[in-house]
Each structure stands twice: as structure tokens, then as C-alpha cells.
Amino acid sequence: MKYGVFLPTVNNGYILSKASPQYMPSYELNRTIATEAERTGYEFVLSMSKFRGYGSEGTGFWDYAQDPLAVIGPLIGATSTIKVWGSVGAPSVHPAMTARIAATYDDASNGRFGINIVAGWNRSEYAQMGLWPGDDYPSKRYGYVDEYVHILRSLWETGRLTYHSEHFALDDCLVQPTPRHGVTVIIPGQSPRSIEAAANRADVNFVLGDFDQVAKARTDLVTVASRAGRTVGTAALYGIITAPTDAEAVAMVQSFANDTDVEAAEGLRSAAAGDPTGMSAKIQTQERNQTLDVAFDHPTRAAVVTGSCLFHPHLVGSYDRVAAYLHDLEREADVDRSVLSFPDYTTGVADFMETVAPRVRALAAV
């Protein structure tokens, strides 16, 4: 299993609670996390694309966010071996500009750069800048992404492109020099259309969900990619809330849930209601209150907990249970990458590698 860190490029990370660690995004914080991830053996760090959060006054959860591409440049300079993956909200940056930025970062990083192409589901993020493609965009966004990545790869391969479609118009567009090493392309999502786009265009598909949902996404991806003669990896997103015992881990997550930021949670639910197809948005439409169900439905694995104060699925349980979950994810579901978030990154990044990762390796050796 290879591990990545989902960088907290937004305020307060990925837990909507007034009881979890509170902080603003900063380069210093993300540099510290990236260098610690490199030191402790993570494969990559990944930034998140976010342009507007869920506070009513512009001062709430995720209303403070660093640019997901701009932050990558200095992180490349601060590291030497770890892969550094940025994100781009596809409607916000023309693909020719993204291609040029990626070529620059490929050169600066000696081939460590990757780009996560986010289709975008939250209308308010893009509408505030006049960049929302239209009311029908949710239904055709992965066609947009498919074209976007086609343009990226064409420009990287040849350095120039003429291309006209419903979405884009390029006339002898130049992007030179081209990447010398190759840029890793990540496409998130697990709807049939997003799986198709990832299978045909990406190197890695970024997914989330419980064990069965992630396993199905992997199976679907392999099936579609094989038809195109391609091999595409899968990376699954999980938050980590772990402790020596199950009881301690449950107490920690419940303490966060007891002080859920209800206003932010309702704002998130309202925004997600506009996307009827995406898995990420579907998770956000769950009831969000201070009630949290932590069920250990498997004899050895961590519980997968969603809702309440948790933005995305979190693994909750003892070190042994979290390790068993990640081991089984690779062995049984063929998912060999996980993208991890932590309540407190200043301790969680290193603690995971000291407590959970060795247990995963021990299980794999049996």
C-alpha cells in the first residue's frame, strides 16, 4: 500500500467541527506537512481545489483556501523525492494554461508533479467568478473533462494544437517546452461517466466510499480500462481517526461530532443537492447533526464513518483495525493507494507511519 497526504489547503481541514483543531491554511503549514510526509515515507501529497466554502458570512468552513496549483510550486522547491500532485478546477483554468503550468512543474520537480482534474460540482464556487459553464454542466462535465485531458496530453506530446469543440477553441496553440519526464494525470469520481473518463485518459482514478463502494469502483475501472488497453491505478480517500484502542478512537470522533458546525454542514448539504450524480456530493447530502454512528461491522477492520462533522469517509478504530482495513483494501479490492487526511496534521502524518503502516506491512508479510 502506498500512502499520500490530502493537504489541508483550506481552513480546518476536513472535519466540520468546532472541537477539532482549528487553523488557517498557510504555505508554512503545508510545507511542514509535505516535508514530514517525505521524511516518513509517503509516496505523494495532493492539494484540493476549493474556491468558496460554506459559511453564510464568508468567514466559515472552507471560506479560506489556498490556490491548489500555486501552492505546489514552492512545495516542489521544499522537497526532493516525494511526488507533489496539484489540483485544478477544470472550469477555472483553460487547459492550455494548465498544460503550461504542468510542463513548468515537471521540469522543476524532475518528474514528481501530477495534476488532479476536478470537474467541479459546486455551482457557487465558479458562479462567483462568472465561470460556471451553465445549468446543464453537471450532466456533461465528464465530457468536458475528457476533452480537457485530451488537450493536455496533445499539447504535452507535440507542443502545439489546433482543436475546436463545444467547449474549447485552440488555433495553433503552443505549449513549449513540453514535459521531459511525464505528468501524472488524476481524475476523481466513480460514476459511470467519470470511470470512463478516468479509464481512457487518467493514470490514477481518485475515489471515496466504504469498502464495497471502493472495490466496485476499482472493478469498474479495470473493466473499462482493459477495453482501451490501458492500466490505471486507484487511490481511495480516507480520513484517519485512530488510537491504541477502539474506545479511544470512537471517543475522539464523537467529541468532534458533539460540536459539529451545523451552519457549515447545512451549507454543504444545500450545495451538494445541486449535483444529483456525483458520489462526493451524494455523501454530503446525508443528515448532518451531532449524532454519529460508529459501527464495527467487520470483525477486524476499522469502521467507515460518514456524515455528521466528517466531510469524507473516515476510518475509525484501533491501530490494528485501521491497518487491517488498508491491508484488505489492497489484497481483496486491488486498491494499492490511499489518500489520507488527519484531524491534526502536525502529529497525524508521522503517527500514522509509526503506528499503522508497520502493521499493514506485517499483515502483508503473512
Burial readout 323-355 (b: 16 or more C-beta within 10 A, e: otherwise): bbbbbbbbeebebbbbbbbbbebeebbebbbeb
- How crowded is residue 12: how many other Cβ atoms within 10 Å of its Cβ? 23
For residue 211, how far is the Cα from the chain centroid? 17
The residues pairing with 113 across neighbouring beta strands, listed in sequence order, are 84
38: left (phi > 0), else alpha (psi -120 to 50), else beta? Answer: alpha
pLDDT tens digits along 200-218: 999 999 999 999 999 999 9
- Statement: residue 168 has pLDDT above 80: yes
What pLDDT is recorded for position 289? 60
CATH architecture assigned to 2-364: Alpha-Beta Barrel (3.20)
1 neighbors 338 (Cβ within 8 angstroms)? yes
Mean per-residue pLDDT for 9-30?
96
User: CA 149 to CA 182: how far, in whole Å?
Assistant: 14
pLDDT tens digits along 309-347: 999 999 999 999 999 999 999 999 999 999 999 999 999
Phi/psi at 238 (5° precision): -145, 140
> Which among 278, 363, 293 is positioned nearest to 328, based on CA atoms?
363
- 287 band by pLDDT with thresholds 50, 70 and 90: low
pLDDT tens digits along 104-145: 999 999 999 999 999 999 999 999 999 999 999 999 999 999
- Statement: residue 47 has pLDDT above 90: yes
The secondary element (H helix, E strand) that includes residue 43 is none
Mean per-residue pLDDT for 11-40?
97
Give CA torsion, residues 129, 69, 87, 182, to 10 deg. Answer: 140
The residues pairing with 338 across neighbouring beta strands, listed in sequence order, are 3, 236
Domain ranges of the chain: 2-364
What pLDDT is recorded for position 283? 57
- 284 band by pLDDT with thresholds 50, 70 and 90: low
Amino acid of residue 71: V
> Which among 304, 318, 296, 305 is positioned nearest to 248, based on CA atoms?
318
pTM of the model: 0.94
Three-state secondary structure readout of 136-204: CHHHHHHHHHHHHHHHHHHHHHHCEEEEECCCCEEEEEECCCCCCCCCEEEEECCCHHHHHHHHHHCCE
Strands 113-118 and 184-188: parallel
